[in-house]
Homo-oligomer: A and B are copies of this chain.
C-alpha cells in the first residue's frame, strides 16, 4: 500500500549521478546555474525533476549561514494583542512580502517577561536571519537583546525610547503618521464648527497613543482648551473614558478617539447618556478597523492607516538589509506612512 522507503529523499549526490555530472555542478544549477554549459544544466534540471529533488534546508543553512527565515516577534502584555485586527493585518502584509522573497515567517509570541530569555536564545541560536518586532514600550528588553546579538531588525511603530519621527537613534521602523492623522481628524471636527473637542487617548506609554495626542494638541493650538482622558484601546476603556469626560464637561460636542475600538465604547456611552451622534456629539476614530468602523451605528468617520501595507514595508526593509551584507547598508531610518481621513456618518 505504501512506498518502500518514502522517508529518505534524493540528495544532490543522486541528482549529480543521475545527470552524469559532479555534485558541484549540480549544486551550481540548483542555485541559478550561472556558468554552467546549458547542455549540462538541462541534464541536471531533468534529473531534478525526475527524481523530485528538493534541497535539504539544514545542510544548506549549515554552510551558507543563511536560514531563509525571519522572526516576527509579537508581545502580548495585555490580553488584547493578538485578537486585535491590527496585528493580524500587519502580519498578513508581512507574510505576503516574505513569501515573495521566498522567506519563511517564524512567529514568536511573547507572553511575559520571562519569555525574553527564550527569545534571546532563539535569536542568538541563528534560527533566523533577521527580526520584525512590534509596539515596544519604553522599557522593553527586546531592543537591548537585539543590539547585543547584533540582529538585523525592523520595528513596527515608533519605539518608546525614541524621541519622535525626526530624532531616532539607529533603528529602522515603520509607523503611520499618527500625529498628522490625528491633526487632520481634529481639524475636520473644527471645520464642522465643533467647539468642545475631547480626546480619548490610548495608553500613553505606547507611542501611537502619545503621537495621536500630540496631533490632537497641534490642532487645538489656537487657544482651545484641551480635554482628554486615557483609555486602553478597548471598547470598555473607551466607554470608561467617555463617561469620565462627560462627567468633567457635559458640554462636549465632539470626540476624537485614539482608535475605533474605543470609539465604539464611547458611542455606547454617548447613546446611553441620551446624546445623538453626530447630532449632539461628533465622533472620529482611528484605524479604520474593518468590521468595526464600518459596521458601527452610525458608521465611524475615522483615520485610516494602511496596516497591511505597513507590514509589507517592514518586511521589504528587512529583506533589503539582509541582502546587502553588513558592509554598505543604508543607514537605519524611520519610514512614516500616510494616513487618510475616511468620512462616514459619525462626524
Interface hits, A60-110 → B, CB 8 Å: 61-62, 67, 69, 72, 76, 82-85, 87-89, 91-92, 95-96, 99, 104-109
**A152, CB-defined interface residue at 8 Å:** no
Q: Is the CB of A62 within 8 A of B69?
A: no
Q: A205 → chain B, closest Cβ, in Å?
A: 21
User: Which residues on B sit within 8 Å (CB–CB) of A280?
Assistant: none
User: Which residues on B sit within 8 Å (CB–CB) of A42?
Assistant: none
Contact of A124 among B9, B85, B87, B92 (CB under 8 A): B9
**A36, CB-defined interface residue at 8 Å:** no
**A249, CB-defined interface residue at 8 Å:** no
**A20, CB-defined interface residue at 8 Å:** no
User: Which residues on B sit within 8 Å (CB–CB) of A124?
Assistant: 9, 54
Q: Please give me the residue from chain B that is nearest to A83 by CB atom.
A: B85
Contact of A118 among B99, B109, B264, B291 (CB under 8 A): B99
Q: Is the CB of B291 within 8 A of A268?
A: no
User: Which residues on B sit within 8 Å (CB–CB) of A67?
Assistant: 58
A1-14, CB under 8 A of B: which get 1 and which 0?
01000100100000
User: Which residues on B sit within 8 Å (CB–CB) of A9?
Assistant: 124, 126
**A150, CB-defined interface residue at 8 Å:** yes
Q: A51 → chain B, closest Cβ, in Å?
A: 13
Contact of A107 among B91, B236, B261, B290 (CB under 8 A): B91
User: Which residues on B sit within 8 Å (CB–CB) of A292?
Assistant: 291
Q: A74 → chain B, closest Cβ, in Å?
A: 9
Interface hits, A86-143 → B, CB 8 Å: 87-89, 91-92, 95-96, 99, 104-109, 111, 115, 118, 121-122, 124-127
Contact of A291 among B57, B76, B126, B261 (CB under 8 A): B261
User: Which residues on B sit within 8 Å (CB–CB) of A6?
Assistant: 149-150
**A265, CB-defined interface residue at 8 Å:** yes
Contact of A62 among B62, B85, B122 (CB under 8 A): B62
**A191, CB-defined interface residue at 8 Å:** no
A69, B122: Cα distance in complex, Å: 12
Contact of A87 among B88, B261, B294 (CB under 8 A): B88
**A244, CB-defined interface residue at 8 Å:** no
A342, B291: Cα distance in complex, Å: 22
Contact of A58 among B55, B58, B85 (CB under 8 A): B58
- Indicate whether A57 sits within 8 Å of B107 (C-beta atoms), given known contacts A91-B82, A295-B235: no
Q: Please give me the residue from chain B that is nearest to A67 by CB atom.
A: B58
A294, B109: Cα distance in complex, Å: 26
User: Which residues on B sit within 8 Å (CB–CB) of A105?
Assistant: 106-108
Q: Is the CB of A265 within 8 A of B95?
A: no
A30-71, CB under 8 A of B: which get 1 and which 0?
000000000000000000000000111111011000010100
A-B contact pairs, 29 of them (CB 8 A): A9-B124, A54-B125, A54-B126, A55-B125, A56-B126, A57-B125, A58-B62, A59-B62, A69-B106, A82-B89, A82-B91, A83-B85, A83-B88, A83-B92, A83-B291, A84-B88, A87-B88, A95-B107, A96-B111, A104-B108, A105-B106, A106-B106, A106-B107, A234-B291, A235-B291, A236-B295, A264-B295, A268-B297, A271-B297
